[in-house]
Amino acid sequence: MKVTVDVDCTPAEARAFLGLPDVTPIHDKYIRTMLDGFDGIGSAEQMETLFKSFSPMGDAGMRLFQQMMNMGLAGMSGGSDKK
Domain map (residue ranges) of the chain: 11-77
Is the whole-model pTM more than 0.75?
no
Does residue 82 carry a pLDDT above 60? no
Interatomic CA distance for residues 22 and 12, integer angstroms: 8
Burial 30-53 (b: 16+ CB within 10 A, else e): eeeeeeebeeeeeeeeeeeeeeee
pLDDT digits (tens, 9 = 90+) for 8-41: 999 889 889 889 988 889 889 988 887 787 777 7
Based on the number of CB atoms within 10 Å of its own CB, is 62 exposed (0-12), middle (13-18) or buried (19 or more)? middle
Given a contact cutoff of 8 angstroms between Cβ atoms, the answer to whether 26 and 34 are in contact is no
What is the mean predicted confidence (pLDDT) over 59-66? 76
